[in-house]
Structure 1
Amino acid sequence: MADTTSRMLRLLSLLQARRDWPGELLAERLEVSVRTVRRDVDRLRELGYRVQAMKGPDGGYRLDAGAELPPLLFDDEQAVAVAIALQTAAASGADIGEAAERALATVRQVMPSPVRHRVDGVVASSPAAVAPVDPARLLAVSGAIRAREVLRFDYGETADTAPRRTEAHHLVARSGRWYLIGWDLDRDDWRVYRVDRMLPRSARGARFTPRELPGHDPHTFLTARFRGAVAGDAWPCRGSVVLALPIEAVLPFAADAVVEAVDAQRTRVSAGSWSWTALAASFLRFDAEVTGAEPPALAAAFTTLAERAGRIRVGQTDTSDRRRSP
């Protein structure tokens, strides 16, 4: 009986993992006969699981969603994955922290004791979202993407102006915020919008044919826009310098830069940024002597920074935009 129960649980796990399963493939995975699979399927139906038989030369089975939710089944790895996902839900940017806590408590109650103990051993934490988004907004935006309908919305502080009209293509979560990538019909160009600043209008827009996103991948496209890149997701300004530091002192703070030891006391660092002056400033944060700046545009940017720094005076207050009293 224990073997039968274990096999049924494994069968249920397989049926939940993909939509359609040929009967012979299920039998192969469970290492039993097709007839045994048929009997186990009948037992699952008796327990309330809606398993439909598929017609055809090979036959097969499909687990359909029902009006009532039968007991959920997670293997150990799935249970731990669910626990981590729910515990770190706040970092997704969706304002669902409380709902995630309740969902985790509900799922935990129906888990077998061994799996529950494993889940309790997973204590994950993550920073709160920078700008939590109302789930209703996420649903509205994702609904427009799925239906391929033009999304009309007010944006930021422009609620008193005409709404934006955008062909909604991709919804992307990044660093605690949600972004919509869409084709702005009024600006005739791709645009990126923060969803927490959007207020979708209730009226549904016209249907549209999806466009080809530059770079094809939404995450790459978003990275490129943040970096001001003109091609792919590469930084528009890239250069290198030699720092008077050993490589082991540079590596922990190099981020996405490329480092190479020149000798025991010097390291060449290659990196990128959205401007030459910003790149030069990023090298200065290592608090070390800098030489060998390449290309010339980067060397010139160091001169610009030095001139700006030289104009700073201790205690100096900028009064250029203060209005004089009459």
Structure 2
Amino acid sequence: MLSTSARLLRLASLLQSRRHWPGAALADALDVEARTLRRDVERLRELGYPVEASSGVGGGYALGRGAALPPLMLDDDEAVALAIALRAASASVGGIEATSLQLMGKLDQLMPQRLRRRATALHAVTLSLRTGTPLVDAGLLSELATACRDGRALRFSYRKHAGETTARHVQPQRLANYGRRWYLIAWDIEREDWRSFRIDRIEGGLQLGDLFAPRPVPPDVAARLERGIAYAPFACRITLRLQGSLEELQAALPLWCGVIEPETTTHSLLRMGAETPEGLLAQVLMIDRAVEVVDADAVASDIGRILARMSSVFSRDGARVAP
């Protein structure tokens, strides 16, 4: 049987693992009687844990919201995952570097040696390659998330894909993470339509507006966002057919490839976009899979000239390219 101290730690961990515990189930999990469970709950309250109790049918225990944050209990995998995530997050989100270092320092002090070795192994053997500055500020992310949750309209200046800056008035609904970039999904009040905004292009801060009633988010919002990121903004576009289901190709192809859509049970369509015909052709060549062109009318002549030029380049000085 566990000692009182070990049992209290186990009880705190269980209460943090789900929103509500029936009393009998919690006592069974701890292998104690109901009277012992009640005494342990009182001890946790004395330590600062705001444990709420309810009686009757459906009664039990729940960890409430207290004025002070109680000690957080993590199992082995959770502690390691948190340490690794903290080390990775500062590469793409600015403004959390110092806080992340402080929290990692606390974790290192609290974790036993066996866990510390696991948590620091990835960091110890990883080369820090140049990744540029963080792509989004943590403070701005927090402001946008709060506006989404509270239903507050926003005004801000937004720099579009082509470089033009416009004033936007929106009802924010969701945040989305795509690769290393973050996007705001919102209802554009003036355009009366859904729009997505790359958060690193929001300039000059946010101006809070009036409260608004929640608006149902379209079920295909994720697919529309991906299309708006990887395909719609580009003048040069092409559609290819690849063998494989949607799930297979999404797992095999990187995000930058474009938008994958199911066509049949055995084949899918890949819609690609790029700034230039050269960039588009380079993306097609990097797929390294058999493809069939479905639609390339808008760029066919440009790609033909590029291929002819490349053939001429590699045919010089006897380095002839085989047909």
- TM-score, structure 1 normalization: 0.70
Q: Which residue of 1 aligns with 2:106?
A: 106
Residue 307 (structure 1) aligns with? 305
Which residue does the alignment assign to 2:146? Answer: 143
- TM-score under structure 2 normalisation? 0.71
Who is 1:266 aligned against?
none
What's the offset of the Cα at 1:137?
1.2
Using the TM superposition, give the Cα deviation of residue 4 of structure 1 relative to its aligned residue in structure 2, in angstroms.
3.2
Residue 53 of structure 1 aligns with an amino acid whose one-letter code is A
> Which amino acid counterpart does residue 33 of structure 2 have in structure 1?
S
Q: Tell me, in whole angstroms, the C-alpha distance in 2 between the residues paired with 1:15 and 1:122.
A: 31
Three-state SS of the structure 1 residue aligned to 2:71 is coil
Question: Which has a greater percent of strand?
Answer: 2
What is the Cα deviation at residue 36 of structure 1?
2.4
Kindly provide the CA deviation profile for residues 227-274 of structure 1, in whole angstroms up to 9, marking residues without a partner as x: 337xxxxx9823259xxxxxxxxx9xx72699xxxxxxxxxx976123
CA displacement at 1:122 relative to structure 2 = 4.6
Change (3 A) 1:172 1:130: farther
Alpha carbons 1:148, 1:208 under 8 Å: kept: yes
Count of aligned positions = 286
Aligned letter for 1:190?
W
Aligned AA for 1:169?
A: Q
Cα 1:164–1:299 change in 2 (3 A) is closer
Offset at residue 293 of structure 1 (A): 4.2
Note the 1:269-284 alignment, pairs <5 A.
Answer: 272-274=270-272, 282-284=283-285
Structure 2 counterparts to residues 177-326 of structure 1, below 5 A: 177-199=181-203, 203-216=207-220, 218-228=221-231, 237-240=239-242, 255=253, 272-274=270-272, 282-285=283-286, 293-295=292-294, 297-298=295-296, 304-310=302-308
Structure ID, larger Rg = 1
1:304 CA drift (Å): 4.5
Structure 2 distance, partners of 1:129, 1:73, is 35
- Indicate if the aligned counterparts of 2:238 and 2:299 stay in contact, CA closer than 8 A: no
Matched, 1:60 2:60: yes
Change (3 A) 1:210 1:224: farther
SS in 1 for 2:67: coil
Gap change, CA 1:48 and 1:299, over 3 Å in 2: closer
Query: Residues 104, 169 of structure 1: CA spacing in aligned structure 2 closer, same or farther, 3 A cutoff?
Result: same
- Between the aligned residues of both structures, percent identity stands at 38
CA apart distance, 1:298: 4.9
Q: What is the CA-CA distance between 1:138 and the residue it aligns to?
A: 1.3
Change beyond 3 A, Cα 1:140–1:200:
farther
For structure 1, the 5+ residue unaligned runs are 230-234, 242-250, 259-268, 315-326
Q: 1:103 to 1:284 in 2, by over 3 A?
A: closer
The gaps in structure 2 that reach 5 residues or longer are 244-248, 261-266, 314-323
Cα deviation code 1:175-199 (max 9, x no counterpart): 2222111111112222111212214
Q: Secondary structure at the match of 2:208?
A: coil
CA contact 2:173–2:187 (8 Å) conserved in 1: yes
Give the counterpart letter for 1:307 in structure 2: R
Gap change, CA 1:92 and 1:172, over 3 Å in 2: farther
- Letter of the structure 2 residue corresponding to residue 238 of structure 1: L
SS of structure 2 residue aligned to 1:80: helix
Counterpart CA distance in 2 for 1:227 and 1:155 is 19
Larger displacement relative to structure 2 (161-170 or 305-314) = 305-314
Moved more, 172-181 or 109-118: 109-118
CA gap 1:26/1:207 in 2 versus in 1, 3 angstroms: same
Q: Is the 8 A contact 1:237 1:279 kept in 2?
A: no
Q: CA deviation at 1:311?
A: 6.8
Q: Which residue of 2 aligns with 1:32?
A: 32
